[in-house]
Structure formats: C-alpha cells, structure tokens
Amino acid sequence: SKPAKKIKEAVEAAAGKVADALSPDVPGAPSSVPPSLEEPTTPREPLPPKKEHGAPDTRTPTGAETGAPKESKGQQGAYLTTSQGARLRDTDHSLKAGPRGPILMQDHHFREKITHFDHERIPERVVHARGAGAHGVFTGYGTATNLCRAGFLAKGKETDVFVRFSTVLGSRGSADTVRDTRGFATKFYTDEGTFDLVGNNIPVFFIQDAIKFPDIIHAAKWHPDKEIPQAQSAHDTFWDFVSLHTEAQHHTMWNMSDRGIPRSYRTMEGFGVHTFRLVNAAGETVLAKFHWKPKLGVHSLTWEEAQLLGGIDPDFHRRDLYDAIEAGAFPEWELGIQVFPDTDDETFAGIDLLDSTKIVPEELAEVQPIGKLVLNRTPRNFHAEVEQVAFHLGNLPPGIDVTNDPLLQGRLFSYLDTQLTRLAGPNFSQIPINRPHAPVNDMLRDGFHQHAVHAGVAPYRPNSLDGGNPFPAGDKENAFLDVPVRVAEAPKVRANPISYADHYSQVRLFWLSMSPVEKEHIVRAYTFELGKCYEQAIKERQLRCLANIDPLLCEQVATGLGLPVPEPTEEFADVTPSPALSQVGKKWPGDGRMVGIVIDPDGDLEGIPLVREAIFAGGMVPLLIGPHGGMVNGLPVQRTFLTARSVEFDALLLAGAPAPAPDALPSRDAKAAAVATVVTDPRVALLVEECWRHSKVIGGWGVGASLLHDAGVADTPGVVTGGSATEVFTQVKELMSLHRVWERFPSIMPA
C-alpha cells in the first residue's frame, strides 16, 4: 500500500494568510476602536448596538429545550392560557349567540385553538418516514486519534448524540416489522460542530449514482395509481426495477436475508455505507468506512413473526427501544472503522471504494473499535425531536471529509434541500433538536421562522462596522479542512467507472457466506415476494438475475414459483465467503429480552419469585401470563391469555397447564388448534406452538413440563423440562444466548 498523502503544506499555504491575521498576540484582546479606513485584520468589539437593536433577553419558557429535565414532561403551570399568555376561563365551549346559536367570529380562543390544530402536521419524510429516536452519549476510545483529528474521538471524551432509526418505504403510520432496509442516523453534537452519520443497517445501496434515487424510490414505494402496497417490496414495480437495474441485486439480497426483518433496533448493525476520508493532526489522510456493532449481536425476526407483528403490534420496534431504555437496559453499539490507504485509485484489494454497492469483507480489513454509543434517554416529545430532527451528510467536524462516491455527492445536495419543504424554510437548524452544541457564529439571516434575534449591523464580509467579525479560522483554530485532493483532469461525462459494471460477484459472496438456515430464509423470501408479483415477465427476469448469483438459489426459487430454471448469462465470480456476514453461531448477552411465564392457579408457582429474580439478574424482563388480570395466587399478572401472543417473547416458560376455559376464544380455529396439539387452554397451546415453530427456547416444570411432554415437543432441541423452576431457567438462559434454536428450523440447504 502506498503511504498516506501528506497534505499539510498545501493546506498551510492556503490558510497562511488567515493564520497570520489571527496571530496569537491579538485574539482575546478586542478593542472598541471606531472603524478605520482599512478593513480590520484582527477581531475587535463591534460598534455598540443602537438602543433599538436590543432584543428581549427573557423568554417565556417553551419547555422545548431538549436538555430540560425530564420532570418538566407534563403541562407547565397551573392555569391554561392563550398563546399570548392570557388566562382562560373555559376551553370546552365555543362563544355562541346563546346556547343554541351559531359560533361568533370574535371567539379568538376558538379560532386560535382550531387554526393551530389544523396545521399540526408537517409533511412526512419523502423516504424513511416511519422512525423512532433516542438520546444518548458517545464516548471516544482514543484509538482513532492517530488517523482522525476530530475531537469527539479522543480517549474518554463524551459527546451527546441523538439517533433516529427508521424503515425506508412505509408512511409514518406503517408497521415497524416489514421487510425493508432500516435507517440508522446519528447526530453527534460535537464541540467542533455537529457530525451526522446517516447510515443504514445494510452496508450497500441499490444504486451507484444519486441521480437514480427517485427511480428506485418510485419503484419501491406503492404503485402510483392505488397507493398500495404500504411498506412492502413484494410487488411488481419493485421487482421490475431491481431485475432491470442489476446493480440493485446486492442490496436486494440483503433485504431478502434476515437483515430485512430485524428483531429490534437494538440488534442491528449500522453502516455509514460510503467511504469517507479521515485527516489527522499532521494533515495525513486515510480512507475509512464506519460500522456500528451492537453489543447484543445481530438478530432477526422470523418472517412469520414479522407478519404477525404487523397486526398484533405495528409499533413493535419503537416500543422495544423505549421499553428497553426505560427499563435501564440501555442499548449499546461500538463504532468501528475499516481503514484503507488513501491511494490515487481509491481501491482496496481490488474493490472500488467509491462504489456503494460493494463492501470490503471484514476478513480483509478488520473493523477497529473507536468508541461506544449508549442510548439512555427516550424523547420527551416525539414531534419536537424525532419528527423534526434533520440530518445531513455535509454536517462534518474537522477531521472527517467526503469522497467522490457519486451516491454520497448527490446526498450532499438532497438532505439540505428536502428540509426546506419538510421543515418549512431555511432555519431548521434552530429547532432545538437540530441546534449544534458548538457555538454558532454564522452570517445566515432572516427567512421563515427565524428564532434568533441577531445583533450587529454587518452580517457580511468584509466589514469594518462589526469590528471585521466574524473572521475565518485557520489551522490553529481547528477550522474544517476541505482536503485538497486532486480532481482528475477528465472530460465532462455522464458515465461510470468500468469497475461499477460488476453487479453479481458480491451478491454471490453474500449468499455463500450464509449458514444453511439463513440461506433457507433467503430462498423463502424471494419465493414469497416474487409470488406476490402479477407479471410473469418480471418473475422470469428476476430468476435470470438469480441464475447469475447461484444455481441452487435460482433452482429453489424457480421451483417455488413453478417456473423453469434459466441458464446463467455471466460466469460465476470466484469469491471467498466472509463468515462475518452470518448472524448465526455465536453467543450473545440477553439484555432486555422478554421471557413469558405461563401461570394458572393450579400450576406449580412456588419457584416463580426466584425465577423472576434470576431473569431480572440476567438483564431480561419476565412477564407473567395468567388466565385473568390482577393477581394469581399472590403473583402480579402482566399479560392474560387474551392479551399475550408469542411474538412478544424471546422464550417461554410454563409453570402451569391451564385446562381449557369454556369461554376461551370460542372460534373453530382455536378449538382445532387445541385438539391438534394438547388439551389445555387453546391460547396457551397456540403460545407453545408458535414459540416452538419460531425456534424459541421453551422450558417447563411440574404440570408445565407435563404439557410439553403431552404436546410431543419435550424431547426436541431447545425444550427444557428436567428439574426445578430455577434449574430449568438456568438451562433456558444458556440456550437463549445462541438467540434461537436453529436446529428446529427445517433447512435443506448445504452448509
């Protein structure tokens, strides 16, 4: 690898004039001399403002400051007022000409209340409309300081952050658990200016050039005539596009894998996707890709769970994030970087680092941890924080710069632009959640919703009236550095580099890196999604793409669709699988996982208090499921047989085997399920059946164990029946660290 570029001299030459102007003798000693004939070269006090320039220095607290203490969550003050502070006598009756008369135009309170309500909504994001957010803290490890001068990466340095997770395709009110990419956008409020790392849970993208973004989104969102389907990729226009525009095949395979249906935001990886350029204090540069690694590991739902949750709890991911934080199981990620030498061709191991449809396998470039993120505070007001937060890739601190990736370059335009409509004007960075924590001294003025009352008379440069302020900073003042990389002398063209034409090698790499059970899921996902398409030609065209990825994959999906298997049109690339891409086969902590415990008055409930303690001690949450609410034999019930559904639990314990209640779901289906499995309450039978099918760990003792024996599952992998309540849970906990009992998931795929 070539040595990193030395660019300090170039920068110093450019910044020399400024650095001289800000020589150390002068700052900190501003004078109040009147403007001279010359342009000031050193900062000094502006002229004193005219009296009428003075702005009110006290404000009515709005409660909108994000740093305000949690206690001020409720309404403020004892008395209701108008927006102008006048106390109100009545807000329940409009002012009318007599009790039966029409409303009077003069009812200002009525008009103010209704007008404001009429305008409560803002346009949803054009993509990533559905999301959830949380506050937290990032702590630098100091391991990146030799590569990157950004202060927030220094050892032990703590920086406030706000993270917004999202789905891409659905509207604001759509379900959380749909098959889709997830957004993972982080705002670091660093002392040197805000850094927005706007990434996804998938490290590659559908397109190589930002100019194609409207195309992929128009294809992937609902059909324009009927606005269906909502938040789905299982429809004709999506598959029409990705089968014609084959650079999308890599991202599509990730979508069809388990990564498309995460178990929780807490169990997702995050990726900055693009390659960035890092600059250290000596002005040396490297190229780097950002990775977020979740402490809990990467885990997913099963497809059936995801579908059930769409109806049972469309807010599943949002709820899971907030419940975990409020229970003290703070979600954690490590930020890591893959580092590459900043060579002229911007490639590594033959991989084009400017092509966002390619990864660099971790086996080729290790992910080096550089800091830790902990989310520890839920939003106080969803609209103020999660809805109004505005990310932008151009928000970079000194030490991190962009590259020429054409996807990144286009994003630099789009994110600023979109907020103008969404947040109604150019002053969105003054909204509390978007305010930098670094001091701001810009010359941006006026515009809709201007909240700042700017003093001074000279928001322009050069000036003499405001003492020449503000001055550009130089290297010594840690100014942002646009790395003076060489822009190739090349003709102006609408074209891609040759390397961008490889659309299949890394899709094959991903497929071959999967375990058998993950391959099985991918086959089922393609078969399901293409099975939902109407146009035969689209299915056949996508099969032709699969034929270029892997013959077994193609054959399996074609069989499921009942279509012939096409021949590949390209040679298979010779790729080395990357084990790091597989989610299966490791052990993980159980923080924040849900353990359902079925109890009934005739069950063996003696061990329950100890088991609950052990579950809490493991950082998990026990939920007692009883025949009715309130208490059962002195134990508090959190879910009833009516409100519980298996999808909420990561594991199930049975301390009882309640007899069928006469009023239990008197539907034919429920009765059939009970008969088909075992004689107990059909809703409990369904819990066991689904947990077993979804490869979750199940344990039982006493009559609970008998139920599992009667149901014929006691001797299957991941079902624990021997011993006391606490002995059963100890084994259950150990099995849960593998996430699921994948041996129970049928797969015909070879390893």
The residues assigned a catalytic role are: 128, 200
* Binding positions for ligand HDD, 560-619, rule CB under 6 A: none
- Does position 382 interact with ligand HDD (CB under 6 A)? The reply is no
- Does position 127 interact with ligand HDD (CB under 6 A)? The reply is yes
Q: Which of 170, 183, 297, 699 binds ligand HDD (CB under 6 A)?
A: 183
C-beta separation of 107 from 154 below 8 A: no
- Does position 125 interact with ligand HDD (CB under 6 A)? The reply is yes
- Does position 221 interact with ligand HDD (CB under 6 A)? The reply is no
**How many whole angstroms separate alpha carbon 710 and alpha carbon 704?**
10
| Phi–psi pair at 79, nearest 5 degrees | -115, 140
**How many whole angstroms separate alpha carbon 207 and alpha carbon 257?**
19
Residue 137 one-letter amino acid: V
Known binder of ligand: residue 89? no
Contacts of 700 (CB under 8 A, 6+ apart): 653, 654, 655, 706, 707, 708, 714, 719, 720, 721, 728
Query: Per-residue x/- marks for ligand HDD, 346-375, CB under 6 A?
Result: ----------x-------------------
Q: Where are the alpha helices (DSSP H) in 77-165?
A: 108-118
Known binder of ligand: residue 415? yes
DSSP reduced 3-state for 497: coil
- Does position 411 interact with ligand HDD (CB under 6 A)? The reply is yes
Q: What is the largest CA-CA distance in the chain?
A: 97
Q: How far is the CB of 191 from ligand HDD (least distance, A)?
A: 23
Looking at the Cβ atoms of 128 and 291, the one nearer to ligand HDD is: 128
- Does position 433 interact with ligand HDD (CB under 6 A)? The reply is no
- Does position 220 interact with ligand HDD (CB under 6 A)? The reply is no
Query: Per-residue x/- marks for ligand HDD, 137-176, CB under 6 A?
Result: ---------------------------x-x----------
Query: Judged by CB under 6 A, which stretch of 20-28, 125-133, 676-684, 692-700 contacts ligand HDD?
Result: 125-133
C-beta separation of 161 from 376 below 8 A: no
**How many whole angstroms separate alpha carbon 432 and alpha carbon 221?**
31
Q: Which of 126, 327, 364, 673 binds ligand HDD (CB under 6 A)?
A: 126
Query: Per-residue x/- marks for ligand HDD, 283-312, CB under 6 A?
Result: ------------------------------
Cα dist from 276 to 109, 392, 403, 580, whole Å: 53, 14, 6, 22
**Residue 103, CA atoms < 13 Å, CB-side half-sphere:** 9
Q: Which of 109, 128, 358, 539 binds ligand HDD (CB under 6 A)?
A: 128
- 10 Å CB burial of residue 225 (0-12, 13-18, 19+) is exposed
Distance, CA of 42 to chain centre: 45
- Does position 443 interact with ligand HDD (CB under 6 A)? The reply is no
Q: Which of 131, 262, 592, 682 binds ligand HDD (CB under 6 A)?
A: 131
Q: Which of 200, 208, 469, 583 binds ligand HDD (CB under 6 A)?
A: 200
Q: Which of 42, 143, 418, 737 binds ligand HDD (CB under 6 A)?
A: 418
Looking at the Cβ atoms of 166 and 280, the one nearer to ligand HDD is: 166
Q: How far is the CB of 163 from ligand HDD (least distance, A)?
A: 9
DSSP reduced 3-state for 579: helix
C-beta separation of 293 from 373 below 8 A: no
DSSP state of 486: P
Looking at the Cβ atoms of 456 and 497, the one nearer to ligand HDD is: 497
DSSP state of 383: I
Closest CB to ligand HDD belongs to which residue?
183
Contacts of 484 (CB under 8 A, 6+ apart): 7, 10, 11, 14
Known binder of ligand: residue 740? no
Looking at the Cβ atoms of 538 and 581, the one nearer to ligand HDD is: 581
Give the chain's end-to-end CA distance (angstroms, integer).
35
Q: How far is the CB of 298 from ligand HDD (least distance, A)?
A: 17
**How many whole angstroms separate alpha carbon 725 and alpha carbon 731?**
10
Known binder of ligand: residue 179? no
Contacts of 13 (CB under 8 A, 6+ apart): none
- Does position 198 interact with ligand HDD (CB under 6 A)? The reply is yes
- Does position 134 interact with ligand HDD (CB under 6 A)? The reply is no
- Does position 188 interact with ligand HDD (CB under 6 A)? The reply is no
Pairing of strands 621-626, 639-640: parallel
Query: Judged by CB under 6 A, which stretch of 91-99, 221-229, 310-318, 389-397 contacts ligand HDD?
Result: 389-397
Kindly state the tokens that stand for 159. 């920086």
Question: In 3D, which of 246, 249, 137, 195 has the Cα closest to residue 398?
Answer: 195
Residue 681 one-letter amino acid: D
Q: Which of 210, 306, 509, 647 binds ligand HDD (CB under 6 A)?
A: 210
- Does position 410 interact with ligand HDD (CB under 6 A)? The reply is yes
Contacts of 472 (CB under 8 A, 6+ apart): 18, 479
Size of the site for ligand HDD (CB under 6 A): 26
- Does position 412 interact with ligand HDD (CB under 6 A)? The reply is no
Binding residues for heme: 125, 164, 213, 411, 415, 422
Give residues in contact with ligand HDD (CB under 6 A): 125-128, 131, 164, 166, 183, 185, 198-200, 205, 210, 213, 273, 356, 389-391, 407, 410-411, 414-415, 418
